[in-house]
């Protein structure tokens, strides 16, 4: 009653009198209604801002631009080094397993002549052969003869790959070409290369041409036959799928036939790599003035038996290295294959 009377009296006299609120519940609505846009007083409690609203302001004050990345520095090669150290015992065990048979053969070769199990005149100990190999390597004879043999072998091998792989693709893919050349191929592939060596010498002489030609002949057949087999054994489902996509013949060869044929083709190439060295050595024994075959033959005539075995070991080492190079190339070209888990 008092607050209502006071308000009416003030209105009647022309003076504004602010009534005092009686409780706290009436104070808050009155203040908000009187000053709707007034700033918050320092005494009033302020609710904390949410994290989402304060994060951009903090970033704007502390980080101007993109967040800098800490330099890696010398810490980068730590992971590969640790990985290599972790794999080291496995690699050592694997290398020891692969070389155990070779070490055992060398020990048997060393001890058998010394114990009198074989005549050391015809089979000297391995240490004497190693000294003879080092002597041939230091005076340059081994290098010169190996260079001559490698030039002939790689030349014939390369020509055989260039000729046999495209011809094998044609014969394996086009049936008319296979019907035309099939009987002729059967005749020549069953004729040994060394049996034709006198023919090559008579027709081409005893120079480099006859030796390279006999290597080409010996290397062609493994590559050709494996290429034909590779093309004919391509998965028919892949061929049907590729043809349903309207691929042209060149794209079909590039995307389906060649990738599927690589493993079998390289099997023939590896066989040809071994044949290129073996046939060449036999050709150099008949008529040559340089080469590993010539070195072995001359050492036999001069009864230099350690030098003869040194030449044989060199041929074996070249064959192993050449085969490993071909295996690495095959893995690179057929990296799409999923390795089989034993």
HEC letters along the chain? CHHHHHHHHHHHHCCCCCCCCCCHHHHHHHHHHHCCCCCCCCCCCCCCCCHHHHHHHHHHHHCCCCCCCCCCHHHCCHHHHHHHHHHHHHHHHHHHHHHHHHHHHHHHHHHHHHCCCCCCCCCCCHHHHHHHHHHHHHCCHHHHHHHHHHHHHHHHHHHHHHHHHHHHHHHHHCHHHHHHHHHHHHHHHCCCCHHHHHHHHHHHCCCHHHHHHHHHHHHHHHHHHHHHHHHHCCCHHHHHHHHHCCCCHHHHHHHHHHHHHHHHHHHHHHHHHHHHHHHHHHHHHHCCCCCHHHHHHHHHHCCCHHHHHHHHHHHHHHHHHHHHHHHHHHHHHCCCCCCCCC
- Confidence band of 129 (pLDDT split at 50, 70, 90): very high
Maximal CA-CA distance, the chain: 149
- For residues 48 and 247, the model is more confident at 247
Q: How far apart are CA 53 and CA 76, in angstroms?
A: 38
pLDDT-based confidence at residue 56 (cuts at 50, 70, 90):
very low
C-alpha torsion sign, points 291, 293, 294, 299: positive
Confidence tier at 30 by pLDDT (50, 70, 90): very low
pLDDT at 323: 86
The Cα angle at residue 335 between residues 334 and 341, in degrees rounded to 5: 100
- Measured distance CA(215)–CA(281) in Å, rounded: 10
Identify the pLDDT of residue 336.
59
Which two three-digit tokens encode residue 203? 């027709």
φ/ψ (deg, to 5) at 114: -70, -30
Q: Which residue has the higher pLDDT, 237 or 161?
A: 161
How much is the pTM? 0.65
Instruction: Tell me what pLDDT residue 55 has.
Output: 44
Say what the alpha-carbon torsion angle 207, 212, 217, 219 is, to the nearest 10 degrees: 150
pLDDT at 309 over 90: yes
Q: Residues 160-188: pLDDT tens digits?
A: 999 999 888 888 888 888 888 888 888 88
Is the model's pLDDT at 111 over the cut of 80?
A: yes
Indicate the pLDDT class of residue 16, thresholds 50, 70 and 90.
very low
pLDDT above 90: residue 33: no
Name the least confident of 58-62, 142-146, 240-244.
58-62
pLDDT at residue 256, rounded to an integer: 80
- Give burial (CB, 10 Å; 0-12/13-18/19+) of 121: exposed
Query: Residue 199 CB: number of other CB atoms within 10 A?
Result: 11
Q: Residue 161 CA to chain centroid, in angstroms?
A: 21
User: How is residue 11 written in tokens?
Assistant: 């209105």
What does pLDDT average to over the chain?
A: 75
């Amino acid at each position: 009653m008092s607050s209502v009377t006071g308000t009416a009296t003030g209105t009647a006299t022309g003076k504004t009198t602010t009534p005092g609120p009686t409780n706290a519940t009436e104070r808050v609505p009155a203040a908000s209604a009187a000053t709707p846009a007034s700033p918050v007083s320092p005494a009033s409690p302020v609710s904390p801002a949410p994290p989402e609203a304060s994060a951009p302001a903090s970033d704007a004050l502390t980080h101007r631009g993109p967040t800098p990345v800490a330099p890696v520095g010398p810490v980068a090669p730590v992971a590969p080094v640790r990985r290599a150290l972790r794999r080291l015992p496995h690699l050592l065990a694997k290398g020891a397993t692969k070389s155990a048979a070779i070490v055992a053969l060398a020990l048997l070769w060393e001890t058998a002549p010394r114990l009198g199990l074989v005549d050391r005149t015809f089979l000297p100990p391995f240490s004497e052969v190693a000294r003879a190999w080092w002597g041939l390597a230091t005076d340059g004879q081994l290098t010169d003869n190996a260079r001559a043999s490698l030039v002939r072998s790689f030349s014939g091998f390369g020509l055989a790959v260039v000729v046999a792989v495209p011809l094998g693709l044609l014969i394996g893919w086009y049936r008319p070409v296979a019907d035309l050349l099939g009987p002729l191929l059967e005749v020549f592939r069953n004729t040994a290369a060394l049996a034709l060596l006198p023919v090559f010498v008579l027709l081409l002489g005893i120079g480099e041409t006859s030796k390279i030609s006999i290597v080409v002949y010996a290397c062609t057949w493994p590559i050709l036959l494996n290429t034909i087999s590779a093309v004919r054994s391509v998965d028919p489902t892949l061929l049907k799928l590729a043809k349903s996509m309207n691929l042209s013949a060149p794209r079909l060869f590039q995307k389906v036939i060649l990738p599927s044929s690589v493993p079998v083709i390289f099997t023939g190439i590896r066989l040809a790599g071994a044949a290129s060295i073996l046939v060449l050595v036999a050709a150099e024994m008949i008529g040559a003035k340089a080469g590993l075959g010539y070195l072995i033959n001359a050492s036999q005539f001069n009864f230099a038996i350690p030098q003869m075995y040194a030449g044989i070991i060199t041929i074996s080492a070249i064959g192993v290295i050449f085969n490993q190079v071909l295996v690495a190339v095959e893995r690179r070209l057929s990296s799409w294959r999923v390795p089989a888990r034993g």
